[in-house]
Amino acid sequence: MAENKGQEIQKQETQLQQGTEPTREGRLFMPPTDIRETNDSIVLTADMPGVKPDGVDVTLEKDVLTVCGAVADEHLGNHNGDGYAEYEVGNYQRSFALSDEIDRDKIDARMDNGVLTLTLPKTTPSQKRIEVKAG
Amino acid sequence: MEQFIDRFFAPWMPEAAEGDLTVAYPVDIREEDGKLAVDAEMPGFQKDEIDISIDKGVLRISAERKPEEKKGKSHLEERRYTRVERAFTLPAPVDESKVDAKLEDGVLHLEMPETEESKPKQIEVK
């Protein structure tokens, strides 16, 4: 596509939280992500080419959802920068702050052709009416 | 509106919110052991959505997939195109009948053996 020419083609590296150091070897990339919200759920879709379903690690700690993807060995290949190279292979990592409105027990993760789809169901809002009594 | 988004997904880093990731799918081309190897990241494409052709030393990779159904409201949109077309002049002639292509985990791997005439010829000086 002609309109892409000259655009940045490199993958964007994950910026780690300030003051922290990476605990994995190699470069870490930020997967391009879509987030869509419907009435009953939030769907997060992330491109992580080269990652197999068992290479995906989704953790939820406190309010932070972290998506990690380890690139399978067979895709590490000879990306040594020789020849015509537009990309480097590295693992993926990205974190998102979640609200309490997600039903944490029902998060569903699917990996298909290098695309991770996370479905985060919303909790049914617990409606509490507080009655004001006349003193 | 902003507050509403933040309620669900305040991206961990401020950069993440800006969504400046609109880039084409990257491709690697290498020459190794008498063959050309091409790797192209094509997340989300099925193998029958990808077209590969070699014509007069030009490798063309094109792919098109249906845009995903867009339900609800969008909070972040960074994922790339549903249509890709890239063409490369190959650095050496290849045997077009022996091209091996496979798609795995969203990565397309191509292997093309170089033809005999592309190998360097020894010329004897008399």
Segment holding B7, helix H or strand E: helix B2-8
* pLDDT-derived band at B21, boundaries 50, 70, 90: very low
Average confidence (pLDDT) over B2-28? 48
Q: Do B41 and A49 touch (CB under 8 A)?
A: yes
Interface predicted TM-score (ipTM): 0.72
B26 touches A35 (CB < 8 A): no
Residue with tokens 């699917």: A110
Report, at the CATH architecture level, how domain B22-66+77-117 is classified. Answer: Sandwich (2.60)
Q: In which order are the strands placed within the sheet that holds A108-112?
A: A108-112, A115-121, A41-47, A33-37, B73-77
Residues spanned by the domain of A101? 41-123
pLDDT category of residue B79 using cuts at 50, 70 and 90: confident
pLDDT for B31 equals: 84
Is residue A61 assigned to a domain?
yes
> What average pLDDT does this structure show over B76-83?
79
A65: CATH = 2.60.40.790
Report the gap between the CA of A133 and the closest CA in chain B (Å): 32
pLDDT score at B103: 95
Residues of chain A positioned with their CB less than 8 A from the CB of B91: 83-84
pLDDT per residue as tens digits for the range B83-114:
888 888 888 888 888 999 999 999 999 999 98
**Nearest CA-CA distance, residue B125 and chain A, Å:** 32
Contacts of A92 in chain B (CB under 8 A): none
% of residues, chain B, pLDDT over 70: 75
Residue A133: inside a domain, yes or no?
no
Q: In this complex, do B79 and A15 lie within 8 Å of one another by their Cβ atoms?
A: no
- In this prediction, residue A6 carries a pLDDT of 37
**How many residues make up chain B in this entry?**
126
> How many whole angstroms separate alpha carbon A77 and alpha carbon A89?
9
- Which residues of chain A are within 8 Å of residue B15 when distances are taken between CB atoms? 15
Chain-wide mean pLDDT for chain A? 79
Neighboring chain A residues of B27 at a CB cutoff of 8 Å: 84, 86-87
**Which chain B residue lies closest to A8 (C-alpha atoms)?**
B23
Q: Are B116 and B94 in contact (CB under 8 A)?
A: no
Q: Name the pTM for this structure.
A: 0.73
Q: What is the pLDDT of residue B10?
A: 44
Mean pLDDT of A119-132: 78
Measured CA to CA, the distance from residue A49 to residue A75 in angstroms comes to 9
CA B26/CA B31 separation, integer angstroms: 17
Nearest to A7 among B24, B28, B46 (CB): B24
Count up the domains in chain A and report the number: 1
Searching chain A, which residue's CA lies closest to the CA of residue B74? A36
What per-residue confidence (pLDDT) applies to A25?
62
Domain assignment of residue A114, yes or no = yes
Name the pairing type of β-strands B100-104 and B73-77: unpaired
B71: closest chain A residue by CA: A38
What pLDDT shows up at residue B71?
79
- Partner residue facing A37 (CB), from B12, B73, B103: B73
B36 is written with which tokens? 């050309």
Residues of chain B in contact with residue A30, where contact means CB-CB under 8 angstroms, are: 16, 21
Q: What is the pLDDT of residue A69?
A: 93
Residue boundaries of the structural domains of chain B: 22-66+77-117
Instruction: Give the pLDDT mean for B117-122.
Output: 68
The DSSP call for residue B94 is: B
Q: Which H/E stretch holds residue B17?
A: helix B14-18
* Res A4 pLDDT > 60: no
